[in-house]
């Protein structure tokens, strides 16, 4: 087995010092002497017609440099999957927070004051705050001129579920539902827009997908993508809500154009909470067919998901939600019918797990419930049915590495090990354990679209190494992973490597940070670019020292010869020769890598991910049967990561994913009253704090994926996915109650534990 | 002959609009909210020992953030050829303007006030203001511990001049001298230094050689070159004085480090004039051997050149000065002994022509003078002796293209055409014509060093094309030339091309803008990178439209097929396919090009330039024999440019070069009194204004160099080189007076015309 010097270490993040000292520059640190502050006037109503807007008082306020409404914006609808978004509301507002007008002023106070001075006359419209009602005929239409409120629907069938259900020993049916939660990243989203003197636009913003964001900003403004530069400062988290632009991106550009000065729009925490991109909230009717021996035969799902009024990533998220879990087990057939429905609640989008988390909650809860009902061991049933390396799944995945069964086994064993014996539990507090597993992707090719990444490696004449990648580091540690991969491949100290800031003008094209693709796909591009530049170094070094090329290698920044220990040349020496002499070797390599996947066809069948990831969580909970309060005591998080690149980063991902999974399952919920948000800001929104955080033991399983760099697969999203169903399973284990509607609040638990009282 | 669509046009500069509207950002436009202003305390004495420095009063001034002296700087000597420069004076000052201390303050006024509050006690030392005296034994040493004041000496001999002189029909000897002049670029030099949060240093500055400057800044600070980023804003001229860093570059970095804030140092015009890098001022003893038929046989030169107290580029300049003109004619032998001497006058360096202009003045004046003396036609003698294509010169130049004889002929004929007949000249005002020719280089390989350039071309998914080059555009139009070459090669409209700003982190390595190398060498790199990326485009396009690859070509942004007029695909269509689909073609090409030259050996013999350039100026002057005033009436400037890329840019270079040549010859002079500058600022320094600017007719000769892009050679420096000797020759033609000491002021002319009066 290969020995690694940089891979698998506990590597401090390459930007850790900047972060902990406060030196790191985030968006709010981007400034210019002539910077203006932009603010947005937002709709107070979930659904209303705009009768008139009077901006005269705002315009008259000293220090106000521009006030804009939809009349000042290009007449272009934009959006990721469906172009249903206006930069500023045209005629109608569709949720509380919808962008109505914007100002640019000398400072924040004036901008806020100006916003208050804009007079808008609204005519309120009936509110659609429930997707089921939105589907009823006669429901008010969110978008005028559409025939119904359906934004997207999917109907996917593999095999013949009708026949298979008929042949099953058991058929179970239940409905599950999950809810909107906020990403709660530390840094609210924002942008600084500045028109350059050559007519180009620079936008500083913490997008997860800088290139796709660049294109979308250009589209909204009606200009060419290459006229826009997106530069990423440090980014304080995103979790999916920063994949796509928001309205404020082009709004800042329009304000900057109108004023001839750079404009910063940074959302306040309240605005962020109001307009973030929460998980889409589905109701999932599940039907599961099983044989007496525990063989899972078929699965059927009917899903109605709440899109909010604008689509963003939700159509894609719904597809994952609809079918991805079908590849977790060896089903014979599956069928799903799913609908994404417009409402007047906050628009939803992708969020860590990208739909996969919602259906995992349903399926992994339901399998557990069904097994318990018929006396089967849920863990055994999972192991009996789970996919393995070499499988071709129902939807066409070609499983090239798979640690699923090992993850399940380890999670199940480890969570049993230290559990409090049932006999020691006294009356009120019940303890239980639960296990749930998951699958996910490392990259996701959309049809014939590119799913790769590019990397450029440049060695300077002093041996300093720069990595250019078009993928964002939101804090997950991509920069460190790139540096480790390069240090390993090149044989240099990690300190010799600088991962350059993301700038779409100079960094090579990348699709962005989503689908847990960065380590696998972009890391592979870095790996290959290093391989290419290393060739240049060793070719020249062999010539310089007159030794055979195949005996040359790099080690800790020095070129050595395997057959002659007297050879010791620093990379600096070789680089200076390459760049500063007639040799003229650029020591620069540019590689575009696209994984050998085929993309899904029109029926969503295909091997569309570079690598598939697996994991299982074992959870121990305690339930206060009097108050209904659930507390997670321990989490064993076992993840098939292919190969650990940075153990420190991996455990960060695991701890963060588990925390966010618990928060989603037990604490967080974006609530509305007749379409009006009832859980505003951080004061009005419940989330888990450190005191409720359980001990988390993260256990990596290394399956050495044949494609990922050094065998690595993505782990960004997987760590959250099985937590919620594992908790629900542990709750049933503790107190016999099955919770099918997230979040599992003490109130819901109370009524579930005391159903008889509900009658009163 | 190939037809061009973009090459040879009168192409408006790609950045013309930004410049004429004032939108273009020059160094002074670079700002940050926390920017500090740096100012430098300079020596008022040409030579003095520093007894003490008291910075306490300056430090106590409110708004002052740092005061530094040499004690705050790394103990590192730096410099281009000779490390004889301290960032701030250590113990001694060596010229008026030498850097003694520096401050950083909240604004310019406070910084200036603080400078005044620094108390320095000096002990004045004897001043060395003449290189001849500096060579005398017992002369004060400029640098303590050195054995004499010689900074560099060259002794180059080809053939046997002693034998050859002995065999000559005529042997002539005279001394010529030229003087210090200022570059007078519109924008004074400066820098903004900012330490980034990751410990790296960014320096915004208008260096001609960004990469070499980066390395020198790093050297002065004792850090690695790749820890420094040099970014170039728009640059308002340089003419050689901005090739290298000045002390203020590392000073700004030290001030920024000490204060933790960005620091801007922008020289005032007075400071710029005091510390610019003027031409080195040589005394040139020439000996010329000629046969009766006008055959030039041999040449000998003894040169003593004034270096000033610090060396910068002067050692290299002296080498060019010493031998480059030997390659203009087919001499049998040559010999030179040259000395670069330290003095206490302002340090000299490279300036448009890089030494070649000084010796051209001497040689091209002297040949004319000698020919007239023995009744030969100077033009005929030039034509008889000048080099031709295919020649291997005395110093090893391999002449691959040469329009020298044509340049001489055209200049001589054209200047005769409209001259005022001699018989019409009345007594006081005399008119005359003169011709002089020149050679120069397009690039200059120093020994085994790299003399090439790299370019990266990137096509974005919308068909937008970015060019990255590491070479500076000082205003000469390099960006436009690159865009034209790319537009021609790629077959796209020039508006689709953006030449990216110079940034050493992202732009590929380039040696810099000097030696008239940018069009030839960097232009060739751009050409080759376009060729490479075009391959990617056409390969994919052929596949997309299922046509034979060799029938595909690009025309005005569309891919077409020579055998099928129905094929019409926009570059955007192909680019989107390349970048956004599984094809995964990066549409990015990176090329390092180093011309096929060998570099000079230890004896300075070698074919070190990509291409050699030639030209001749014909000049008509009028001399007021009463006042001694000389006025240039007309200039015919004929230049072998290989191939015209941008006719507009070419004529800009010609007009500018001629103007600077006239200024050097007749008007400008940096004078000193006992080492103290006597021609300060713009008020104290005489220069030519528009009213003295003659009509200039620029005539390009196209010799289609086999190496340069589309046959082009450099023309930046050549345009100035023959102007001064052509004027001197025209003066002798007008009034029989031979002027051998520049500048040819009315006073000198007066005494030359009226030598009898001098006796009084």
Q: Which of A196, A443, A462, A497 to mutate to test the interface with B (most CBs of B within 10 A)?
A: A462
Distance from CA of B627 to the nearest CA of A (A): 50
At residue A448, the pLDDT reads 87
Distance (Å) of CA A542 to CA A537, A550, A569, B309, B534: 9, 9, 10, 44, 33
The strand pairing partners of A282, in sequence order, are A305
Quick check: helix, strand or coil at residue B267?
Answer: coil
What's the pLDDT at A94?
98
Residue B711, both tokens: 């046959």
Compute the distance between CA of residue B743 and CA of residue B563 in angstroms, rounded to an integer: 64
Q: What does the block give as tokens for A572?
A: 């600096």
**3-class SS string, A551-581:** HEEEECCEEEECCEEEEEEEHHHHHHHHHHE
Q: Which helix (H) or strand (E) holds A677?
A: strand A676-677
Provide CB contacts within 8 A for B633, sequence distance 6+: B431, B620, B621, B622, B694, B695
Which residues in chain A are contacts of B592 at CB distance < 8 A?
A: 584-586
- The pairing of strands A201-205 and A228-231 is parallel
- For β-strands B263-266 and B36-42, DSSP reports them as parallel
Given a contact cutoff of 8 angstroms between Cβ atoms, the answer to whether A439 and A613 are in contact is: yes
Query: What backbone phi and psi angles, to 5 degrees, belong to B562?
Result: -65, -20
| Number of neighbouring beta carbons within 10 Å of residue A413 | 14
**What is the reported pLDDT for B760?**
53
Q: Report the residue of A35, A509, A532 to disrupt the B interface, i.e. the one with the largest count of B CBs within 10 Å.
A: A509
Strand A263-266 relative to strand A190-195: parallel, antiparallel, unpaired? antiparallel
- Closest residue by Cα to residue A396 from A162, A593, A156, A615: A156
Residue A591: closest C-alpha in chain B: B586
Token pair recorded at residue A122: 């609204």
The pairing of strands A676-677 and A672-673 is antiparallel
The confidence score (pLDDT) of residue A760 equals: 53
**pLDDT at A2 (0 to 100):** 67
Q: Do A668 and A181 contact (CB within 8 A), yes or no? A: yes
Which B residues in the span 23-82 are in contact with A, Cβ-Cβ below 8 Å? 23-25, 31-33, 35
pLDDT score recorded for residue A426: 72
Burial class (CB in 10 A: 0-12, 13-18, 19+), A689: exposed
Distance CA(A733)–CA(A755), nearest Å, equals 18
What gap in Å lies between CA A621 and CA A430, rounded to an integer? 8
Q: Are A173 and A287 in contact (CB under 8 A)?
A: yes
Report, as ranges of residue numbers, the positions in chain A whose pLDDT lies below 70.
1-2, 422-423, 759-760
| Residue A226 DSSP symbol | G
The verdict on A508 touching B (C-beta cutoff 8 Å) is yes
Q: How far is CA B180 from CA B96, B183, B607, B742, in A?
A: 15, 10, 30, 10
Interface test with A, best of B212, B467, B505 (most A CBs within 10 A): B505
B168: CB partners within 8 A, 6+ apart: B289, B290, B291, B297, B298
pLDDT value for B1: 53
Would you call B388 an interface residue with chain A, using a CB distance cutoff of 8 Å?
Answer: no
The residues pairing with B569 across neighbouring beta strands, listed in sequence order, are B559
Look-up of token digits 């100006």: A114
Those of residues 456-495 in A touching chain B at CB distance below 8 A are: 460-464, 466, 468
CB contact under 8 A, B450 and A593: no
Residue pair B216/B162 in contact by the 8 Å Cβ criterion:
no
Report the C-alpha gap between A267 and B343 in whole angstroms: 62
B579 shares contact with chain A (CB less than 8 Å) = yes
Whether B449 and A24 lie within 8 Å, measured CB to CB: no
Phi and psi angles of residue B456, each rounded to the nearest 5 degrees, phi first? -125, 130
Percentage helix, strand, coil, to 5, in chain B?
Answer: 30, 25, 40
| Alpha carbons A31 and B453: distance in angstroms, whole number | 35
Nearest to B450 among A32, A215, A580 (CB): A580
Other residues' Cβ atoms within 10 Å of the Cβ of residue B461:
22
**Element at A653 (helix H, strand E):** helix A647-662
Q: What is the mean pLDDT of chain A?
A: 96
Q: How far apart are CA B578 and CA B575, in angstroms?
A: 5
Q: Is A126 exposed, middle or buried (0-12, 13-18, 19+ CB in 10 A)?
A: exposed
Is the backbone peptide bond immediately before B743 cis, with ω within 30 degrees of 0?
yes
Alpha-helical runs (H) found in B161-226: 161-167, 210-221
Contact A450 B582 (CB under 8 A): yes
**Residue A598 to residue A610: CA distance in whole angstroms:** 10
Q: Are B94 and B124 in contact (CB under 8 A)?
A: no
SS3 label, residue B439: strand
Q: Which of B655, B670, B649 is nearest to B617 (CA)?
A: B655
Contacts of B23 in chain A (CB under 8 A): 197
Q: Which chain B residues touch A25 with a CB distance below 8 Å?
A: 197
- Cα angle: B252, vertex B253, B259; to 5 degrees: 90
Tokens at A159, concatenated: 């095999």
Chain B contact for A599 (CB, 8 A cutoff): yes
Instruction: Please tell me if residue A215 touches chain B, with a CB cutoff of 8 Å.
Output: yes
Size of interface A-B (CB pairs under 8 A): 134
Task: For chain B, give the number of residues.
Answer: 760
Exposed / middle / buried, residue B423 (Cβ in 10 Å: 0-12, 13-18, 19+): exposed
Give the CA distances from residue B713 to residues B350, B517, B640, B658, B672, in Å, rounded to whole numbers and listed in that order: 20, 8, 8, 18, 39
Query: A54 near A240, Cβ under 8 Å?
Result: no
| pLDDT score for A759 | 63
Q: Under an 8 A CB cutoff, do B508 and A588 touch? A: yes
- Print the SS3 string covering A111-173: HHHHHHHCEEEEEECCCCCCHHHHHCCCCCCCCCCCCCCEEEEEEEEECCHHHHHHHCCEEEE
Residues 75-104 of B with CB under 8 A from A: none
Strand partners, B488: none
Backbone phi, psi, residue A449, to 5°: -70, 155
DSSP state of A710: G
Note whether B586 contacts A579, CB cutoff 8 Å: no
* pTM, two decimal places: 0.96
Token couple for A626:
């009097």
Residue of A506, A507, A480 whose CA lies nearest to A495: A480
Cβ partners under 8 Å of residue A566, min gap 6: none
Contact yes or no for B517/B451 (Cβ under 8 A): yes
B198 touches chain A (CB under 8 A): yes
> Tokens 């004076």 sit at which residue?
B89
pLDDT at A420: 73
What lies within 8 Å, CB to CB, of A431 at 6+ separation is A419, A420, A422, A425, A620, A621, A622, A623, A633, A734
Q: Give, to the nearest 10 degrees, the angle between helix A356-374 and helix A314-323.
A: 20
Q: What tokens were used for B297?
A: 């046989």
- Where chain B has pLDDT below 50, the residues are none
A599: chain B residues, CB-CB within 8 Å: 582
Q: What was the pLDDT predicted at A53?
A: 98
């Amino acid at each position: 087995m290969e020995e690694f010097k940089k891979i698998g270490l506990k590597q401090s993040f390459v930007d850790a010092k900047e972060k902990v000292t406060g030196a790191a520059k985030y968006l709010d640190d981007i400034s210019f002497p002539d910077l203006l502050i932009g603010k947005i006037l937002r709709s107070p109503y979930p659904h209303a017609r705009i009768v008139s807007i009077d901006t005269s008082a705002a315009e008259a306020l000293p220090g106000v440099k521009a006030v804009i409404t939809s009349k000042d914006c290009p007449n272009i609808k934009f959006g990721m999957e469906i172009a249903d978004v206006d930069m500023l509301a045209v005629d109608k507002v569709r949720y509380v927070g919808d962008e109505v007008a914007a100002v640019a002023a000398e400072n924040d106070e004036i901008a806020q004051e100006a916003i208050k001075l804009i007079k808008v006359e609204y005519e309120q419209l009936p509110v659609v705050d429930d997707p089921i009602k939105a589907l009823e005929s006669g429901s008010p239409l969110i978008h005028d001129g559409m025939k119904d409120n359906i934004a997207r629907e999917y109907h996917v069938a593999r095999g013949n579920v009708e026949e298979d259900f008929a042949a099953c020993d058991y058929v179970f049916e239940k409905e599950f539902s999950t809810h909107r939660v906020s990403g709660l990243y530390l840094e609210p989203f924002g942008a600084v827009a500045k028109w350059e003197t050559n007519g180009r636009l620079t936008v500083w913003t913490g997008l997860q997908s800088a290139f796709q964001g660049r294109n979308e900003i250009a589209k909204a403004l009606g200009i060419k993508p290459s006229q826009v530069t997106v530069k990423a400062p440090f980014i304080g988290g995103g979790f999916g809500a920063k994949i796509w632009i928001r309205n404020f991106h082009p709004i800042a550009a329009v304000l900057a154009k109108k004023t001839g000065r750079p404009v910063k729009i940074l959302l306040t925490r309240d605005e962020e909470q109001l307009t973030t991109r929460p998980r889409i909230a589905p109701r999932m009717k599940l039907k599961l067919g099983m044989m007496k021996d525990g063989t899972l035969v078929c699965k059927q799902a009917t899903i109605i998901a709440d899109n909010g009024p604008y689509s963003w990533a939700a159509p894609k998220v719904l597809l994952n939600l609809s079918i991805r879990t079908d590849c977790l087990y060896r089903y014979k057939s599956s069928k799903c019918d799913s609908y994404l429905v417009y409402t007047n609640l906050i628009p939803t989008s992708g969020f860590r797990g990208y739909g996969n988390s919602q259906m995992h909650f349903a399926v992994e809860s339901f399998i557990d419930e069904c097994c318990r009902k018929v006396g089967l061991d849920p863990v055994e049933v999972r192991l009996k049915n789970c996919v393995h390396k070499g499988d071709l799944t129902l939807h066409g995945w070609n499983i090239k590495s798979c640690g699923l069964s090992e993850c399940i086994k380890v999670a199940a064993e480890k969570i049993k090990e230290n559990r409090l014996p049932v006999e020691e539990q006294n009356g009120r507090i019940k303890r239980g354990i639960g296990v749930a597993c998951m699958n996910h992707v490392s990259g996701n090719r959309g049809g014939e679209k590119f799913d790769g990444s590019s990397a450029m490696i440049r060695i300077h004449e002093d041996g300093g190494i720069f990595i250019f990648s078009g993928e964002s580091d939101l804090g997950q540690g991509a920069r460190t992973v790139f540096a480790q991969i390069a240090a390993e491949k090149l044989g240099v100290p990690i300190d010799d490597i600088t991962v350059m800031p993301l700038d779409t003008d100079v960094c090579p094209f990348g699709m962005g940070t989503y689908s847990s693709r960065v380590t696998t796909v972009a890391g592979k591009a870095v790996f290959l670019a290093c391989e290419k530049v290393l060739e240049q170094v060793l070719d020249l070094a062999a010539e310089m020292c007159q030794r055979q090329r195949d005996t040359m290698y790099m080690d800790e920044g020095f070129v050595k010869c395997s057959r002659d220990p007297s050879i010791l040349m620093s990379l600096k020496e070789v680089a200076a020769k390459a760049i500063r002499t007639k040799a003229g070797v650029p020591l620069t390599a540019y590689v575009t890598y696209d994984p050998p996947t085929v993309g899904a066809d029109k029926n969503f069948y295909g091997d569309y991910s570079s690598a598939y990831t697996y994991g299982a969580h074992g959870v121990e909970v305690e339930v206060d049967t009097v108050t209904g309060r659930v507390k997670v005591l321990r989490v064993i998080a076992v993840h098939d990561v292919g190969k650990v690149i940075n153990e420190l980063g991996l455990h960060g991902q695991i701890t963060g994913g588990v925390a966010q999974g618990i928060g989603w399952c037990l604490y967080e919920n974006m609530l509305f009253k007749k379409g009006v948000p009832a859980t505003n800001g951080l004061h009005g929104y419940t989330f888990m704090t450190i005191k409720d955080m359980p001990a988390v033991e993260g256990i990596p399983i290394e399956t050495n994926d044949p494609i990922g760099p050094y065998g690595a697969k993505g782990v960004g999203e997987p760590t959250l996915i099985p937590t919620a169903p594992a908790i629900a399973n542990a709750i049933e284990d503790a107190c016999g109650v099955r919770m099918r509607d997230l979040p599992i609040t003490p109130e819901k638990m109370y009524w579930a534990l005391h159903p008889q009282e509900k009658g009163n």
